[in-house]
Structure 1
Amino acid sequence: MAEMRDEPRNDRTGVRRGEGISFSLRSAIQTLGLNALLRLPPELYEALASEHRRTVLSYLHENDGRATITELAAHLVTSGIEASEQRAHVVLQHVHLPKLAERGFVEWASRRDTVALGRELN
């Protein structure tokens, strides 16, 4: 029998390194069912394709549905997704928040510093 070792886990996902997407997919299928996953709209896959966007949505969900861009940028740095808050702030404003807002996952306008969970997630 192969020796069982406790391999390090990815801090953000809790998944053991090496298990990767197959473990996550297996878990999603068990939770939601394969038919439900196959019927998800393509825009959902696109919105969730980025670790930045998944992390933003998770942070908002865990923090009463609201945060500032500064808080989100700091969280991306502490999560190890971005190296600097300045870069995180820029990519949030110019890439990730516009995509999430366009799909209704967050409420945000470029002139505001506040981000909230959108109509699609409330």
Structure 2
Amino acid sequence: MKSSSRQILFDEMVDALADVQRRTLLVALLEHNPQADRPVVVGDGGTEAIEVKQLIQMKHVHLPKLAEYGFIDWDEDAHEVAKGPNFDEIRPLLELLDDHADELPADWL
């Protein structure tokens, strides 16, 4: 799914960061581009049922939302996620989270 560059509102950035799965994926893209979507999703050590639920949410909720905002480009067939045309607009917030990850509650990233 390809997105075009457009002006992003702060509320959209906050919405994109409102879920830990989306935050984790976006922060991972700071240093790794492209990033396979599966390893980022299944990393919490939960049960298989929880991991399946997370995969379903990632595919049907989180990846489409991030692609709609243009923060990622998502190749659903190749299971690959890369920085989208609007990634640089959310980069400062991601860097802030990443730079202070050790000071934040564990469930934030």
Same fold per superposition (TM over 0.5): yes
* Number of the residue aligned with 1:66: 34
- For residue 104 of structure 1, report the CA deviation from its aligned partner: 0.5
- Determine which of 81, 100, 108 is the counterpart of 2:66: 100
Cα distance in 1, alignment partners of residues 71 and 20 from structure 2: 15
- Is the counterpart of residue 50 in structure 1 residue 19 in structure 2? yes
Structure (1 or 2) with the larger CA radius of gyration: 1
Identical aligned residues as a percent: 38
Deviations for 1:6-50, whole angstroms, at most 9, x for unmatched residues?
xxxxxxxxxxxxxxxxxxxxxxxxxxxxxxxxxx62211111111
Deviations for 1:85-112, whole angstroms, at most 9, x for unmatched residues?
3222111101101000000111004333
Matches within 5 A, 1:1-122: 41-62=10-31, 64-75=32-43, 77-78=44-45, 84-122=50-88
Residue identity matched to 1:74? V
Q: 1:120 to 1:69 in 2, by over 3 A?
A: same
Residue aligned with 1:108, SS: strand
Residue aligned with 1:60, SS: helix
Cα distance in 1, alignment partners of residues 26 and 49 from structure 2: 19
Over 6 Å off, 4+ runs: none
Give the total of aligned pairs.
79
TM-score by length of 1: 0.54
RMSD of aligned Cα (Å)? 2.3
TM-score by length of 2: 0.60
